């Protein structure tokens, strides 16, 4: 499953710092690549490993792309810059990094963070770019619709609904079109139809206040984050709070030292893990698990996938020769304590090709080729 998240934002907000922190965890860091596959942290894997003592543990991954090139007014100059645009079209979700740390004073006075203003201007660029594409497409579609082309009529009505949302200053996503309707305008590559994560990149010093509601908050970070949270709710987006610089530093340390450093800051988990989890959620994916002697492993399919498609995520032979799948929900397996006891207690079901996969299914495929 090769779904990717594009990291975008104005220059100097910490996109590359964030990407570098991600890359240190990456399984595919090659040279100065701007694309990296990052393992998705999943504590269920460790629990399963305790149970079956596998040779190795393999997490699933999600791909991130460091997309440079967004500047104010980008949508006006004949659309967003070419490279930027083509990179954005191919990603499945957008992570918009927002500067919540003040810039150092270079003699002109410190520049305060204005993440909400920044966010509004970015959303506007994305919306304008989408509007331009919809309008160009509508010229053709409306003409065909007038000549009683029913498919064109259907497309026209979808495009008009999308345009209404954008005209009202909202994202195309907020038009509430169905999955099949979205499919029919997929080739337009509308940017505001993609799921979004707002990434508040806060100064290291503000982290304790950001995560602890009673910690002193001299920088006023909590009210900034409240504003962003409201904007996220309004835009059907998720908010993730990180300190990209700190994450990049933590990524350099051994796990124990990193944990100690975190504790010294009064934090329990890094924002990076939460960001990866949020990105994964927004991509509309679910994780199923396999727990065998050779490996305990997490796999990814899209939500709504049926059992054979999940089998195909592992190997095309398993999909082709699919017979049945043994399914034990993760929680039941943990409750039972072992795969054998889960079977005894009736927690393991045998499902067929129409079974819709669920988050946390621990599976064993029966197949023949």
Ligand X SMILES: Nc1nc2c(ncn2[C@@H]2O[C@H](COP(=O)(O)OP(=O)(O)O)[C@@H](O)[C@H]2O)c(=O)[nH]1
User: What spatial distance separates the first Cα and last Cα of the chain, rounded to whole Å?
Assistant: 23
User: What tokens appear for 160 in the block?
Assistant: 């008009």
C-beta of 154 vs 274, nearer to ligand X: 274
Q: Does 115 bind ligand X (CB under 6 A)?
A: no
Report the distance separating Cα 183 and Cα 252, nearest Å: 42
Rule CB under 6 A: which of 16-45 touch ligand X?
Answer: 16-17
Residue 339 interacts with, from Mg ion, ligand X, none (CB under 5-8 Å by kind): none
Q: CA 102 → CA 108, 202, 296, distances in Å?
A: 13, 9, 44
Return the residue matching tokens 């924002």.
Answer: 271
Report the distance separating Cα 35 and Cα 25, nearest Å: 13
Min dist CB 173 to ligand X, Å, is: 24
Residue 203 interacts with, from Mg ion, ligand X, none (CB under 5-8 Å by kind): ligand X
Buried b (16+ CB within 10 A) or exposed e, 86-110: ebbeebbbbbbbbbbbeeeeeeeee
Interface with Mg ion (CB under 5 A), residue total: 2
User: What tokens appear for 330 in the block?
Assistant: 């993760």
Q: Which region among 14-22, 86-94, 251-259, 360-368 touches ligand X (by CB under 6 A)?
A: 14-22
Q: Does 87 bind ligand X (CB under 6 A)?
A: no
C-beta of 16 vs 89, nearer to Mg ion: 16
Min dist CB 274 to ligand X, Å, is: 15
Report the distance separating Cα 23 and Cα 1, nearest Å: 19
**Interface residue with ligand X, options 4, 5, 6, 15 (CB under 6 A):** 15
Min dist CB 188 to ligand X, Å, is: 27
Binding to Mg ion by CB under 5 A, coded x per residue (else -) over 43-62, reads: --------------------
Binding to Mg ion by CB under 5 A, coded x per residue (else -) over 11-40, reads: ----xx------------------------
User: What tokens appear for 307 in the block?
Assistant: 């059992």
The residue with its CB nearest to Mg ion is 16
User: What tokens appear for 279 in the block?
Assistant: 């990105």
Q: Does 12 bind ligand X (CB under 6 A)?
A: yes
C-beta of 61 vs 271, nearer to ligand X: 271
Min dist CB 30 to ligand X, Å, is: 19
Report the distance separating Cα 153 and Cα 111, nearest Å: 51
- Concatenate the DSSP letters of all residues of 162-218 into one string: HHHHHHTT--GGGG---HHHHHHTGGG--GGGS-EEEEEE--GGGHHHHH-TTS--T
- Concatenate the DSSP letters of all residues of 6-71 into one string: EEE-STTSSHHHHHHHHHTT-S---TT-SEEEEEPP-HHHHHHHHHH--SEEE--EEEEEE-----
C-beta of 192 vs 243, nearer to ligand X: 243
Q: Give the three-class secondary structure for 349.
A: strand
C-beta of 130 vs 206, nearer to ligand X: 206
Pick left, alpha or beta for residue 31 (phi over 0 → left; psi -120 to 50 → alpha; otherwise beta). left
C-beta of 165 vs 244, nearer to ligand X: 244
**Interface residue with ligand X, options 244, 272, 313, 357 (CB under 6 A):** 244
Residue 226 and residue 249 in contact, taking contact as beta carbons nearer than 8 Å: no
Interface with ligand X (CB under 6 A), residue total: 14
Min dist CB 69 to ligand X, Å, is: 10
Residue 17 interacts with, from Mg ion, ligand X, none (CB under 5-8 Å by kind): ligand X
**Interface residue with ligand X, options 62, 191, 203, 327 (CB under 6 A):** 203
Min dist CB 15 to Mg ion, Å, is: 5
Residue 230 and residue 269 in contact, taking contact as beta carbons nearer than 8 Å: no
**Interface residue with ligand X, options 75, 171, 201, 328 (CB under 6 A):** 201
The footprint of Mg ion (CB under 5 A) covers: 15-16
The footprint of ligand X (CB under 6 A) covers: 9, 11-17, 101, 201, 203, 243-245
């Amino acid at each position: 499953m090769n779904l990717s998240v594009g990291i975008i934002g104005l220059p100097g907000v910490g996109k590359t710092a964030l990407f570098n922190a991600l890359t240190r965890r990456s399984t595919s860091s090659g040279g100065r690549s701007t694309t990296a596959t990052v393992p998705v942290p999943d504590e269920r894997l460790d629990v399963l490993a305790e149970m079956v003592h596998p040779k190795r543990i393999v997490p699933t991954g999600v791909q991130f792309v460091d997309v440079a090139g967004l500047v104010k007014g980008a949508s006006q100059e004949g659309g967003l810059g070419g490279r930027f645009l083509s990179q954005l079209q191919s990603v499945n979700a957008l992570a918009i990094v927002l500067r919540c740390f003040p810039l150092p004073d270079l003699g002109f006075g410190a520049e305060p963070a204005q993440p909400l203003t920044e966010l509004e201007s970015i959303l506007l660029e994305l919306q304008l770019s989408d509007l331009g594409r919809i309008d160009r497409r509508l010229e053709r579609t409306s003409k065909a619709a007038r000549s009683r082309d029913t498919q064109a009529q259907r497309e026209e009505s979808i495009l008009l609904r999308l345009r209404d949302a954008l005209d009202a200053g909202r994202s195309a996503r907020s038009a509430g079109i169905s999955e099949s309707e979205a499919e029919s305008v997929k080739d337009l590559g509308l940017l505001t139809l993609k799921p979004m994560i707002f990434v508040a990149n806060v100064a290291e010093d503000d982290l304790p206040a950001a995560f602890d509601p009673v910690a002193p908050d001299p920088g006023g970070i909590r009210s900034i984050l409240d504003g962003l949270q409201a904007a996220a709710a309004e835009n059907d987006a998720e908010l993730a709070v990180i300190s990209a610089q700190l994450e990049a530093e933590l990524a350099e340390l051994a796990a124990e030292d990193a944990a100690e450093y975190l504790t010294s800051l009064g934090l329990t988990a890094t924002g990076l893990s939460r960001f990866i989890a949020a990105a994964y959620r927004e991509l509309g994916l679910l994780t199923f698990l396999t727990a065998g002697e050779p490996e305990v492993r997490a796999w990814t399919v899209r939500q709504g996938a049926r059992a054979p498609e999940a089998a195909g995520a592992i190997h095309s032979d398993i999909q082709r020769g699919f017979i049945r799948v043994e399914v034990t929900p993760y929680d039941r397996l943990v409750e039972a304590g072992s795969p054998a006891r889960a079977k005894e207690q009736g927690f393991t079901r045998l499902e067929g090709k129409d079974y819709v996969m669920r988050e946390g299914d621990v599976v064993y495929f029966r197949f023949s080729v």
